[in-house]
Amino acid sequence: MQSFTSFQAILQGVAQSQGFDVRLWEYRLQTQWKDIVGDVLAAHTWPTRIRFRKLFIAVETTVWLHQLTYLKSTLMEKIQSQTPNLYLKDIVFRIGEIPEQHWDEPVSRNIAPHVSPESLMTATEVTREVTNEEIRYSLTRVISKALSSSTNEI
Protein backbone atom coordinates (compact mmCIF):
# COMPACT_ATOMS: atom_id res chain seq x y z
CA MET A 1 0.00 0.00 0.00
CA GLN A 2 1.33 3.43 -0.91
CA SER A 3 1.78 5.96 1.89
CA PHE A 4 0.49 9.50 1.63
CA THR A 5 2.66 12.57 1.81
CA SER A 6 1.28 15.49 3.80
CA PHE A 7 0.47 18.71 1.99
CA GLN A 8 2.92 20.52 4.28
CA ALA A 9 5.74 18.17 3.22
CA ILE A 10 4.88 18.72 -0.44
CA LEU A 11 4.86 22.51 0.01
CA GLN A 12 8.17 22.39 1.86
CA GLY A 13 9.70 20.31 -0.92
CA VAL A 14 8.45 22.68 -3.62
CA ALA A 15 9.56 25.73 -1.63
CA GLN A 16 13.02 24.27 -1.12
CA SER A 17 13.47 23.14 -4.71
CA GLN A 18 12.38 26.52 -6.07
CA GLY A 19 14.35 28.56 -3.54
CA PHE A 20 11.23 29.89 -1.83
CA ASP A 21 12.18 28.49 1.57
CA VAL A 22 14.78 31.22 2.13
CA ARG A 23 12.27 33.88 1.11
CA LEU A 24 9.73 32.39 3.52
CA TRP A 25 12.28 32.63 6.34
CA GLU A 26 13.04 36.24 5.36
CA TYR A 27 9.32 37.03 5.47
CA ARG A 28 8.87 35.28 8.83
CA LEU A 29 11.79 37.18 10.34
CA GLN A 30 10.47 40.49 9.01
CA THR A 31 6.94 39.94 10.28
CA GLN A 32 8.14 38.71 13.69
CA TRP A 33 11.16 41.02 14.04
CA LYS A 34 9.79 43.11 16.91
CA ASP A 35 8.84 40.00 18.87
CA ILE A 36 12.26 38.45 18.33
CA VAL A 37 14.53 41.41 19.11
CA GLY A 38 12.30 43.74 21.12
CA ASP A 39 11.04 47.28 20.57
CA VAL A 40 14.36 49.11 20.81
CA LEU A 41 16.35 46.96 18.38
CA ALA A 42 13.38 46.68 16.00
CA ALA A 43 13.26 50.47 15.75
CA HIS A 44 16.90 50.63 14.58
CA THR A 45 17.40 47.37 12.63
CA TRP A 46 15.71 45.34 9.89
CA PRO A 47 16.41 41.82 8.57
CA THR A 48 16.93 42.38 4.84
CA ARG A 49 17.87 38.98 3.45
CA ILE A 50 19.40 35.58 4.01
CA ARG A 51 22.20 34.43 1.71
CA PHE A 52 24.47 31.42 2.18
CA ARG A 53 23.10 30.88 5.71
CA LYS A 54 24.02 34.45 6.68
CA LEU A 55 21.37 36.85 7.93
CA PHE A 56 21.94 40.38 6.64
CA ILE A 57 20.57 43.06 8.93
CA ALA A 58 20.22 46.72 7.99
CA VAL A 59 21.28 49.02 10.81
CA GLU A 60 20.27 52.66 11.10
CA THR A 61 23.60 54.25 12.10
CA THR A 62 27.26 53.42 12.65
CA VAL A 63 26.71 53.81 16.39
CA TRP A 64 24.10 51.04 16.31
CA LEU A 65 26.29 48.94 14.03
CA HIS A 66 29.18 49.20 16.50
CA GLN A 67 26.93 48.34 19.46
CA LEU A 68 25.42 45.35 17.66
CA THR A 69 28.84 43.81 17.03
CA TYR A 70 29.02 43.31 20.82
CA LEU A 71 25.51 41.86 20.89
CA LYS A 72 25.96 39.57 17.88
CA SER A 73 26.09 36.26 19.75
CA THR A 74 23.14 37.21 21.97
CA LEU A 75 21.13 38.24 18.94
CA MET A 76 22.01 35.00 17.15
CA GLU A 77 20.81 33.00 20.18
CA LYS A 78 17.53 34.94 20.28
CA ILE A 79 16.90 34.38 16.59
CA GLN A 80 17.77 30.68 16.78
CA SER A 81 15.52 30.18 19.82
CA GLN A 82 12.58 31.79 18.02
CA THR A 83 13.24 30.05 14.69
CA PRO A 84 14.76 26.64 15.52
CA ASN A 85 14.45 25.30 11.95
CA LEU A 86 16.37 28.23 10.48
CA TYR A 87 20.04 27.31 10.31
CA LEU A 88 22.18 30.44 10.29
CA LYS A 89 25.94 30.47 10.54
CA ASP A 90 26.45 34.23 10.82
CA ILE A 91 24.86 37.67 11.06
CA VAL A 92 26.14 40.51 8.90
CA PHE A 93 25.34 44.09 9.90
CA ARG A 94 25.27 46.83 7.28
CA ILE A 95 24.21 50.43 7.32
CA GLY A 96 20.89 50.63 5.53
CA GLU A 97 17.42 52.05 5.43
CA ILE A 98 15.01 50.84 8.09
CA PRO A 99 11.44 50.71 6.78
CA GLU A 100 8.88 52.60 8.79
CA GLN A 101 6.96 50.06 10.84
CA HIS A 102 3.43 50.32 12.13
CA TRP A 103 3.49 47.44 14.59
CA ASP A 104 0.05 48.21 16.04
CA GLU A 105 -1.66 48.08 12.64
CA PRO A 106 -2.66 44.83 10.98
CA VAL A 107 -0.42 43.59 8.18
CA SER A 108 -1.34 45.25 4.92
CA ARG A 109 -3.07 43.00 2.41
CA ASN A 110 -1.21 44.69 -0.44
CA ILE A 111 0.96 41.95 -1.97
CA ALA A 112 3.80 44.26 -3.05
CA PRO A 113 3.92 47.26 -5.35
CA HIS A 114 7.00 46.00 -7.26
CA VAL A 115 5.59 42.56 -8.09
CA SER A 116 4.88 41.96 -11.76
CA PRO A 117 1.29 41.07 -12.70
CA GLU A 118 2.53 37.84 -14.32
CA SER A 119 4.29 36.77 -11.12
CA LEU A 120 1.22 37.57 -9.05
CA MET A 121 -1.03 35.59 -11.40
CA THR A 122 1.32 32.60 -11.30
CA ALA A 123 1.60 32.72 -7.51
CA THR A 124 -2.16 33.05 -7.11
CA GLU A 125 -2.72 30.04 -9.37
CA VAL A 126 -0.18 27.94 -7.45
CA THR A 127 -1.72 28.75 -4.05
CA ARG A 128 -5.42 28.77 -4.97
CA GLU A 129 -6.14 25.44 -3.27
CA VAL A 130 -4.64 26.46 0.09
CA THR A 131 -7.69 26.81 2.33
CA ASN A 132 -6.16 28.81 5.16
CA GLU A 133 -6.39 32.46 4.10
CA GLU A 134 -3.33 33.66 6.03
CA ILE A 135 -1.12 30.85 4.71
CA ARG A 136 -2.44 31.36 1.16
CA TYR A 137 -1.75 35.12 1.39
CA SER A 138 1.75 34.58 2.80
CA LEU A 139 2.64 31.97 0.19
CA THR A 140 1.25 34.12 -2.64
CA ARG A 141 3.24 37.11 -1.41
CA VAL A 142 6.51 35.20 -1.07
CA ILE A 143 6.17 33.31 -4.35
CA SER A 144 5.21 36.42 -6.34
CA LYS A 145 8.12 38.39 -4.86
CA ALA A 146 10.51 35.52 -5.58
CA LEU A 147 9.31 35.21 -9.16
CA SER A 148 9.52 38.97 -9.71
CA SER A 149 13.02 39.23 -8.26
CA SER A 150 14.27 36.29 -10.31
CA THR A 151 12.82 37.93 -13.44
CA ASN A 152 14.50 41.24 -12.54
CA GLU A 153 17.89 39.56 -12.07
CA ILE A 154 17.94 38.18 -15.62
Per-residue confidence (pLDDT) for residue 3, from 0 to 100: 73
Q: List, in sequence order, the alpha helices (H) in the chain.
A: 7-18, 20-37, 39-44, 62-82, 117-127, 133-152
Is residue 85 predicted with pLDDT exceeding 60? Answer: yes
How many CB atoms are closer than 10 A to CB 95? 11
Q: What is the mean pLDDT of residues 17-39?
A: 84
CA dist., res. 59 & res. 68, Å (int): 9
Opening angle at CA 62, ends 57 and 67, nearest 5: 75
Question: The CATH number of 19-105 is which of 3.30.300.180, 3.40.50.300, 3.65.10.10, 3.40.50.2020?
Answer: 3.30.300.180
pLDDT per position as a tens digit, 30-52? 988 999 998 889 999 999 999 99
Nearest Cα residue to 136 out of 102, 98, 115, 109:
109
Q: Is the pTM of this model over 0.85?
A: no
Tell me which of 30 and 14 has the higher pLDDT: 30
What is the per-residue pLDDT across 121-131, written as a single tens digit (0 to 9) for each?
777 778 778 77
C-alpha radius of gyration, the chain, whole number: 17
Please say whether the beta carbons of 41 and 48 come within 8 A.
no
Ordered by start, the domain boundaries in the chain are 19-105, 106-154
The proportion of the chain whose per-residue pLDDT surpasses 70, expressed as a percent, equals 82
